[in-house]
Every structure is written in structure tokens, then in C-alpha cells.
Structure 1
Amino acid sequence: MNKIISRVVLTGCIFSIASATFACSEFNHNFGGDLGVYTTRTMDLFIDLKPNLTIYPRGTKETGGLKNNSLTWTDKYGYVSIDETNLANLTGEGLNEKGLVAHLLYLGDTIQPKRDTSKPGVNGLYWIRYVLGNFATVKEVLDNLDSYQIYNPPIEINGKESNIPVHYMVEDKTGDSALIEYINGKLTVHRNVKAISNEPSYDEQQKILRQAKELGFYNIDKLPGGANSAYRFVRTTFISENLPKAKSMNQAVNYMFAAADSVSVPFIKGYRNESLNNPSL
């Protein structure tokens, strides 16, 4: 349990200190042995999210947050999450008592289908709460995807109605992982994913990664270093694949912090996104 709490604190710290652009990066690494799997991410925005570390005990009653045929449930598992109180109170990340982790990241390429009210639904900004309260493994999450609809309704941002297009990463203590995206209106799942960022879709990111390898950029001396989402994806993938062995939990945490620092976008004069409707880097 102490190991799980340490990972939550690691994540919470990164959420709190990284706030420069709408540039999210996430990756996981299995250190093996007693250390197991660690995951980290950055959440770089130009706005103060006012993140809140929230504990949801077993037995908490929750709702999916949609107007029609919304899911309701009682949490089977307790969990800890990061809730962004200054952005629709969305849940950006969390971890439950079974070691299941879920992350929400921006993906401007998202095209979701229309809401099908004949099917129970959950607001995509609260989906992480549903997953962490009900499932213990990545397999359980994926096996239940067809029983309900993930849907992001418009919310008010800066006085205007807008959707926040996102994709999701889930990981469990065995090292299993999956990326969930809505591409061209269809739910798309990728298994055993080690790193993600923002645009483009994961399929397109894989093409960019192959190009980086073919052109000789997939090494520590020539890794692309810019804030561009594709560059960050190549960097996080390389780091995830090449972290050294850790001798202790503290060393593993330090490795993950250092890795997150390498893809976090710094405060740079004149560098920012035009709006929340166009945050692609």
C-alpha cells in the first residue's frame, strides 16, 4: 500500500508543479522485482487548474454526469484522484486500491460519435472515476467498454461552449496497459502502450516514431527536444525503453521525476497556445 501511495504522491506533485501549456505527456515503466510498475505524466497548461487530491472511499455513490440515461454506481474500490477544480472539475488522473491507474490527456484529433441515449453513458471528463471505482485490471476495463458510452458534452470555457477532446490511458500493477481514443467517431483501443502525448492519433504517432528511428534520431544524442507533441512522444518512448535499473523505490521515483522534467514544457516568453479550442503543439 505504501508503494501505491508513493506513486500517487509522485503523480500529484507533477500535476501541481507542471503548468505551462496544454502539453500533456505520460509514460510507464516496469522496474521489475519488488519495485514493479511506475507511471508519471505532465499536465502543462496556461491556466491554474487548482488541482485537488481527492480520496473516494469504497461505497461512495457516484453518477456519470450526463443529462439522459447517465450511469450511476457505488464504488467497489477506493481510489485517489487528481480533480481539476478550475476546469469542469474533471478528473485527470487517479489510482485505486487494486493498483489500476487511469489518465486523461488532451487529443485534438478526437471525433466522438453523437450521444446514444439508449445506452447508459458517462461524461468523459469523469470517466476515470467510473473506471477506478469499478475495475481492478486493464482487462476488466476493456471488457466492459461496450456496455456504456463515453461522451464529452460541451462545457463553458472562457464564456463559450466547447468540448474538451481527450484520450485515456489505463495501466495496472501487472504492467498491462491500454490507450483508448475516439478516432473518426469510432472507439479505438491500443494495447501495451508505454508512452503517449497529444496530437496526432496513436497510429500516426507510431509512424513518426518509425521515421525517427529510420533517420537516426532515436538515440540520446539526437532525440528531438522541442515542445511539439510528436517530439515529446518520441522522447518519452525512448526514455521508457531505456531507463536504468533502480535499486530502491526512491531511486525509481527520482528516475520518473527526471523523465517527466525532460518533456515538461518550460515557461518561455511569447510561447503559448491561441486558445483551448486549438491547443495542439
Structure 2
Amino acid sequence: MAGGVIWYVIDSRAAGQWLGGGSTVGLVCGIVAGAIIAFEMLLWPRKALRRLRLFPTKYWLAAHLWLGLASFPLAVVHSGFHLGGYLPATFMTVFSLTIFSGVYGWIVQNVLPKWLLRNLPAETIYSQIDHVAGLATDDAKRLLIASCGQRRTAIEQVQLDMEDMDMSLTQTIVIGAVRQAGKGRTSGRTLQTKQAHDSRDDRDRLWTAYDNIEQFLLHGSSITSPVTDRREATIWFNRLRKDCGDPSQDIIDSLEQLCDQRRQFDTQRVVHKWLHAWLPLHIGLSISVSILLVVHVWTALKYW
């Protein structure tokens, strides 16, 4: 790429003007840029034939990235630094958008996964978010039943098996929780043993609090809830702590942790869209560039 640009500058200075695509150097740069674009599109069949192990994927992607970047200045040199007619202008516009979308994808694919690992310790498999959220809701319900018993009124009560119905108010239960191990190097949803203290005095308050957060635990930020926003949730849980006795404090802490986990799931969903939403656009633009390139070559040969 650098050699082509230097060659172009030398010949243009000798000619006293910026040379176009019809010059020797412009034609060579255009051919090389077109060949690179053709190579870039080979990534598509490469993925379809990945079982053949034609070349390590990381090297193929590195070549895809750096050769793609190198093709852009070669295309600019080939154009002679002007867009020309409608077809060349359209091609360069779409080609620029393709390069931009590819660079954007490369940045987010390198930055966001590290950000997720560092800031969302509760991150789970994307397709399992709803399932894990359901488990968190079950955890909260089991903790309340074990600590303060069933509701005073059992309208639309979820059917529990006999073991759950007979749980002691002082038993130890296991729930999911966000925990870290190895000095913070490994994090995620793990199992945590909780001692269920007798919180029957706060039964009504705790079950009312559960009613306020249940739909949020299941559906996240799409539901209006006092715990949707982190700051508002902190205020809400602090108020709940003041209204409840000491035996209920651990239960409230667990409910707050489950709500924080749900907020992390919502953030993960947003970041997941940022990670992958660019790809269909990049593929569509790449296909458009390939079609426009074929038309450009055919037109150039026809009127040369």
C-alpha cells in the first residue's frame, strides 16, 4: 500500500497533476484494491467451509482487517482524489461506509467483552437470561417462605411440593448469588448458602416488597418498578431496612443483590446488541461494494 502511494505521488509530481485511474500507477492501484476486495469477500465461504481448516481463523480475520484498511487508500489513489461520475461516487461512498462499519465492529469486539467481564460479574449466557431471571425469582420466593412463612392470604399461590411447604423457619437454604473467586479474577452466578432467620414479624412487609420487585426480576427494565434505577433501588431498600427488624436484614440484602443481578442482565442485553448489530450492516455494505465493483470494472473496460 505504501509503495503504491509513493509511486503515485512520484508519477503525479512528474506529470504536474493528480493522475487518474487510467494511468499506469492508477490502474495498478485499482487492480490491487479490487483484488483485496475480492479476497475480503472470501471470508464468507471461509466460514461456510470452516470444517476444512483452511487457515487459522485469527490470522484470516487479521488479514481481513488490515488488507481491508489498506485497500481504501489504494482506491482513493485510483480515483485520483476526485469522485468522478455517479457510479464512482456511489462506489466510494458505500466503500467508505463499509470500512467505517468494519472498524467500528473491530473496536466493539475488542473493547466491550473486556468491559462486560470487568463490570458485569453476573453476566450469563445471553440466550439463558430469561431462564436465569426465573431462577432468581424462585430463589427470592424460597428465601421468603423459609424465613417468614407463606403469605397470610394464599390467593393464586404457586403450588409447591411438600418439601417446600414444610420448610423450617430456621433452616439453611441454597440460592444463586453473584460471587467472585480468585481475588476477583473469576466471577459469575454461583451458589450461596443462606441461613433463614425467623422473620415472621416482618412477613407482610417482606411479601409486599417481593410483590414490588417480582415482575422486575422476571422482565427487567421493561417493567416500571421502584428498583429499576440503581440509585432509586438503594433508597428503596434502605427504607425497607429501617421498617424491618434485624432478623430480616440478610433477606433484604439478598433481594437487593438479586435486583442488581437483574439490572446487570439488562445492561448485558444492550451491550450484546452493540456487539452484533453492526454485522448485518457490514455484510450488506460489503455485498453492495462487490456488486458496484463488478459494474465499475465492466463500465471501465467498455469505455476504455
The TM-score bracket by the shorter chain reads under 0.3
Structure having the higher strand fraction is 1
TM-score by length of structure 1 reads 0.21
TM-score by length of structure 2 reads 0.20
Structure having the higher helix fraction is 2
Q: Quick check: which has more Rg, 1 or 2? A: 2
